C-alpha cells in the first residue's frame, strides 16, 4: 500500500484536475447556449432558402444552374473537414478525422483526394498523410457569415475552374449537448432535384425571371450551407466538451473519494501499529 504522503499528493492532484474540468464544463455550457441559439435560429432560414431554390430549379427547363450543376467524371475530390482548434471534447474531432480518412481511403479510393481544413485538430491530423490545399483555423476567433463566405467563394472558385470535380463537407451536426451526428454533404456540384420531389403547390409571380433568381440564389445558398455547417460544428464542439468535462469531473470526484477512503484506512492502520508498538514496549518494560 502506498504511504500516506503519496496518497495525499494524489488526492491534491486529482482535486486540482477536478477543479479544472469543472471550470471547463461551466465555460463550455455558457458558450453552448449562445452557439445553440445561433444555429437554431439559422436553420429555418437555411432550409427555406434551399427549399425555394429546389422549387425554382425543378420548374425550369435545361441546365439553369450552369457551372454550379456541371456533372464531370469524378477524378479529383476536395473534402472540407470541419473540426475544432482545441481538444478535450471526447470523440468530437476523432470522429470527423475517421470519416474524412474513410472518404479518402475507401469511398473515393483510386481518386485524387485533397483537403481544406477548418480547425487546427483536423489540420494537424490529416496533413501528415494527405495534401491540405488550405486551412482556416482562425475563423472560430470571429465566426461571422462574411468570414465564412470567403471560404465558400474559394470552394466555388476551385470547382468552377475545374481544379476539383466534387466538393464534400464533413462536420458534426448539432442535435443536443450529448449527441453530435457526423454528416457528409455534397457541396458542389449541386445535385439535380426532380420536379415531383418538390412542393410546387404555391403559385408565385417572379420579378425578375426565375432564371435570374436561381442564378442569384445559388451562390447565396452555397455560402449559407457552409456557414450552417460551421455553426453546427461550433455548437457541437461546446456540447461535446461540456459532456466530456462533466464525465471527467464525475470520474475525478469518484477517484478522489476512493483515495480519501484509502488514505483514512492507511492512516488508521498506521495509528493502530503505533499503539501496538507503545503497548508492546510498555509490557516489555513491566516484564
**pLDDT tier for residue 191 given thresholds of 50, 70 and 90:** confident
What is the grid cell recorded at 49?
432558402
Q: How far is residue 177's CA from residue 196's CA, in Å, rounded to a whole number? A: 37
CA distance 52 to 55: 5
Above 70 in pLDDT, residue 192?
no
Asked if residue 253 belongs to a domain, the reply is no
pLDDT digits (tens, 9 = 90+) for 193-220: 655 555 555 566 777 777 787 788 888 9
The mean per-residue pLDDT over the stretch 22-26 comes to 93
pLDDT of residue 193: 61
- State mean pLDDT over 20-30: 92
Average pLDDT over residues 153-165: 93
Give a yes or no: residue 223 inside a domain. Answer: yes
Q: Is residue 280 pLDDT above 90, yes or no?
A: no
Task: Give the pLDDT confidence score for residue 147 in this predicted structure.
Answer: 94
**Residue 57 pLDDT more than 80?**
no
Average pLDDT, rounded, for the chain = 88
Domain range for 194 is 22-244
Q: What is the pTM of this model?
A: 0.85
Q: How do residues 246-274 score in pLDDT, each as one tens digit?
A: 999 999 999 999 999 999 998 898 889 88
H helices within 73-169, ranges in order? 92-102, 120-126, 145-160
CA dihedral 38, 39, 40, 45 (to 10 degrees): 100
- Which pLDDT belongs to residue 58? 64
pLDDT of residue 60: 62
**Average pLDDT of the residues in 57-76:** 74
263 within domain boundaries: no
How deeply is 37 buried, as exposed, middle or buried, from its count of CB atoms within 10 A (0-12, 13-18, 19+)? exposed
CB-count burial class (<10 Å; 0-12, 13-18, 19+) for 156: buried
Find where cell 434551399 sits: 50
Q: Which of 116, 118, 151, 120 is nearest to 131 (CA)?
A: 116
**Is residue 2 a part of any domain in this protein?**
no
Residue 182's pLDDT band, with cuts at 50, 70 and 90, is: very high
Contact yes or no for 132/98 (Cβ under 8 A): no
Q: Look at the chain and report how many structural domains it folds into.
A: 1
pLDDT for the residue 225: 93
180: domain CATH number is 3.40.1380.10
Kindly state whether residue 182 falls inside one of the protein's structural domains.
yes
Sheet of strand 76-82, all strands in order from the earlier edge strand to the far edge: 132-135, 112-118, 76-82, 166-176, 179-188
- As beta bridge partners, residue 112 has 76
Q: Burial-class residue 147 by CB neighbours within 10 Å (0-12, 13-18, 19+).
A: middle
Answer yes or no: is 283 within a domain. no
Q: In this predicted model, what pLDDT tens digit does every residue of 31-48 receive, in sequence order?
A: 999 999 999 899 889 888
pLDDT at 239 over 80: yes
| Contacts of residue 63, Cβ cutoff 8 Å, sequence gap at least 6 | 69, 70
Return the closest-CA partner of residue 215 out of 46, 63, 44, 47. Answer: 63
Quick check: is 173 in a domain? yes
The answer as to whether 100 is a domain residue is yes
Per-residue model confidence as pLDDT tens digits over 83-112: 999 989 999 999 999 999 999 999 999 999
Amino acid at each position: 500500500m502506498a504511504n500516506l504522503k503519496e496518497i495525499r499528493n494524489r488526492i491534491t492532484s486529482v482535486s486540482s484536475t477536478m477543479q479544472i474540468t469543472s471550470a471547463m464544463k461551466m465555460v463550455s455550457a455558457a458558450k453552448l447556449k449562445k452557439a445553440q441559439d445561433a444555429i437554431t435560429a439559422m436553420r429555418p432560414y437555411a432550409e427555406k432558402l434551399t427549399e425555394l431554390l429546389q422549387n425554382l430549379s425543378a420548374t425550369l427547363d435545361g441546365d439553369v444552374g450552369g457551372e454550379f450543376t456541371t456533372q464531370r467524371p469524378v477524378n479529383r475530390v476536395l473534402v472540407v473537414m470541419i473540426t475544432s482548434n482545441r481538444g478535450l471534447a471526447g470523440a468530437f474531432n476523432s470522429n470527423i478525422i475517421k470519416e474524412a480518412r474513410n472518404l479518402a481511403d475507401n469511398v473515393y479510393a483510386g481518386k485524387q483526394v485533397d483537403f481544406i481544413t477548418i480547425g487546427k485538430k483536423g489540420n494537424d491530423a490529416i496533413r501528415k498523410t494527405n495534401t491540405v490545399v488550405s486551412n482556416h483555423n482562425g475563423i472560430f476567433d470571429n465566426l461571422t457569415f462574411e468570414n465564412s463566405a470567403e471560404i465558400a467563394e474559394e470552394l466555388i472558385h476551385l470547382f468552377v475552374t475545374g481544379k476539383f470535380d466534387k466538393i464534400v463537407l464533413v462536420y458534426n451536426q448539432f442535435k443536443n449537448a450529448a449527441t453530435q451526428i457526423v454528416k457528409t454533404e455534397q457541396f458542389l456540384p449541386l445535385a439535380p432535384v426532380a420536379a415531383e420531389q418538390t412542393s410546387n403547390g404555391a403559385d408565385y409571380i417572379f420579378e425578375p425571371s426565375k432564371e435570374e433568381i436561381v442564378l442569384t440564389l445559388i451562390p447565396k445558398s452555397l455560402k449559407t450551407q457552409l456557414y450552417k455547417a460551421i455553426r453546427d460544428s461550433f455548437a457541437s464542439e461546446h456540447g461535446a466538451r461540456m459532456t466530456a468535462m462533466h464525465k471527467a469531473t464525475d470520474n475525478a470526484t469518484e477517484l478522489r473519494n476512493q483515495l480519501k477512503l484509502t488514505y483514512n484506512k492507511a492512516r488508521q492502520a498506521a495509528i493502530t501499529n503505533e499503539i501496538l508498538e507503545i503497548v508492546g514496549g510498555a509490557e516489555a518494560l513491566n516484564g
